[in-house]
Chains A and B, each alone.
Chain A
Amino acid sequence: MKRVFGQYKALLFAVCTLPIYAVASPLTINLPAETIVLRPSDLPGYVVAQQKCGICHSADYIEYQPPGFNQKQWTGLARKMKESYGAPLSESDVGLVGEYLAATYSGKPAVESKPAIKAIEVASNTVDKPAVVDVKTLLDQNACLGCHAIDRKVVGPAYHDVAMHYKGNAQAISQVIDHISHGGSGRWGEIPMPPFPGLQPAELKQLADFVLAQ
């Protein structure tokens, strides 16, 4: 069965306006784009949340929780994601995300938060840096395969499609390294790819090589 996070295009409106009986079998839907992103913060948990909290659902789930929950409650929520739903979070991730959510979603307006760039600097100093490891471990540790598969679109594009896209492009390696490190959206769809500021240059190169070889 195909995944749903497809090309969020104007096709949606075509579907909307068709009389229902005129819809030919098979019935296909295109969902509107996500509009809610995580509130920026300079806490290290922001980077972890960007990497881990967008795998299974959009950020509106977090945005619409009521104000006033404390850090214990938000940490409990993060732990529930890990224990009940199998979110790939380490114990330290749970703590960092809990701290970030409590500080950012306590009810204060989001605009008071600092821009994301600082978080990246902080995080790159706090995220554990494993000694050089094989690419499989890198993919696991960073939950890349929560959002990507080799041969089909999940939350992000299939690695095979990425490799095809860059075929013959001399700048491929440096561009892909840059995109993994800094994340971003709009190249494949509306859902953002989270930044991975904690990855070392050698690790980024390993990952980019792997993706481009698919």
Chain B
Amino acid sequence: MSTDNGNTIKRRVFLQGASLVAAGLAFKPLRSQAAETEAQDFANGTRELVAYPQKRPLMRITARPPHLETPFSVFNESVLTPNDAFFVRYHLANIPASIDADNYQLQIKGLVDKPLALSLSELKALGKTVEVVAVNQCSGNSRGYGSPRVFGAQLGNGSVGNARWTGIPLKAVLEHAGVQAGAKQVTFRGLDHPVLPTTPEFVKALGIDLALSDEPMIAWAMNATDIPFLNGYPIKLIVPGYFGTYWVKHLSEIEVIDHTFEGYFMEKAYRVPDNDCQCVPPGTVPDKTRPIGKLKVRSFITSLQPGDKVNVNEPVTLKGFAFDGGHGIQSVEVSEDGGRHWQLAVLGESLGNYSFREWTLQWQPREKGKVGLQVRAKGGQGEQQPVKALWNPSIYVKNNIETTPVTVV
């Protein structure tokens, strides 16, 4: 952070015992041990910071199953999100406590000539190792900032991360098994299962064309080291440009099928209105929906946090990141006057079209008072961010222009 003056909205509070009141809401449930928390600027947005295996303290969304969000300040550290700070998202609580990579098996079955049961070393030997830097973002990232609020995981802006993934193209594995005529979709499941047999399994599906395209990958390394356990060790499906719901962790089974998969997490959950904006008037229900797909263009300021103070007439380097669904960022602009004038930022080195793109801008605050710094990006196909947040019943794909309120002193 470029300023360390007192900041009002975003703060870390040290809490002791049960006597705390945060963001106007009492948290009854803490015990005697102290918990550090991170406040976010939406109702009931304060989260405990808890260290999980291989992770630094992250914002806890749920303890069981583990569901952790990255504190936003992390994104100012580097363009690649450190593994120990990368968000964690499970849906179902019956997850393994221990995984033996030496005895791990990935099955490929269904409409294939040759069903396979691959060990990790067999998988790695199947083809050329490839690498991609790609953004993994939760479908519901930023849901907590939506309005009207809806039930679901109450996420801030930190359920996103950017990492260098190393693995083998999914295509190479499918071709090795021999995809048969009539294949329509490919389904993916991992080692995370429901607690009760009455709860649907977490299974995701990709269309056969996407599955056989160049991008999807089965990765075994994240930022040049093993994938952390809670991010899907030892192998994870990577679908660059697509929301994280498809990035199946602890990938264990791939099935080629001749129909549209009807499982709960495709047919009922993770669906967006079937129109261009993937939106409906706030509070209404769409007539038709489709499975969620690609990331929309987004951009953030990371060098200043809401509530920070900056000195008048002292130049500040603003910094942040932008990304889109895989066409690469064309431009990033910043406004200090509510969107009347926009200044072009300088883009940092490109790590590929699926990556965060860093941007910087020299800014000289000229007048004392409150300023809402806005940032907007243009995607590779000219796609822009809406000024006002679009809405859908699950608050997915939120990507409006963000405003960081700061005070010039």
Contacts and interface: CB of A to CB of B under 8 A. Distances in A.
Interface string B32-52: 000100000011100110111
B229 interface: yes
A130 interface: no
B64 A57 contact: yes
Report which residue of B63, B200, B268, B269 has the largest number of chain A beta carbons within 10 angstroms of its beta carbon: B63
A155 B64 CA distance: 10
Interface residues of A, number: 59
A1 B96 CA distance: 6
Is the interface on chain B under 10, 10 to 19, 20 to 34, or 35 or more residues? 35 or more
B25 A16 contact: no
B64 A39 contact: no
A164 interface: no
Nearest to B194: A56
A56 B53 contact: no
A86 interface: yes
A57 B93 contact: yes
Nearest to A191: B64
Nearest to B25: A109
Contacts of A67: 25, 43-44
A20 B53 contact: no
A107 interface: yes
Contacts of A59: 29
Given A34-B64, A66-B154, A29 B94 contact: no
Contacts, number: 166
A35 B20 CA distance: 14
B199 A85 contact: yes
Interface stretch (B99-107, B205-213, B236-244): B99-107
Contacts of B199: 56, 85-86
Most buried by A among B44, B83, B144: B44
Interface in A106-141: 107, 109-111, 113
A201 interface: no
Interface stretch (A4-12, A42-50, A165-173, A175-183): A4-12
Nearest to B55: A16
Nearest to B155: A64
Interface of A: 1-6, 12-13, 15-16, 20-21, 23, 25-37, 39-40, 55-61, 63-69, 73, 77, 80, 84-88, 107, 109-111, 113, 146, 154-155, 191
CB-CB nearest 5 A-B residue pairs: A86-B198, A26-B100, A110-B28, A109-B26, A66-B149
21 contacts: A4-B97, A12-B53, A21-B225, A25-B101, A25-B102, A26-B101, A27-B98, A29-B54, A29-B97, A35-B30, A35-B31, A35-B35, A58-B62, A59-B29, A63-B29, A65-B154, A80-B151, A85-B198, A86-B198, A109-B26, A111-B28
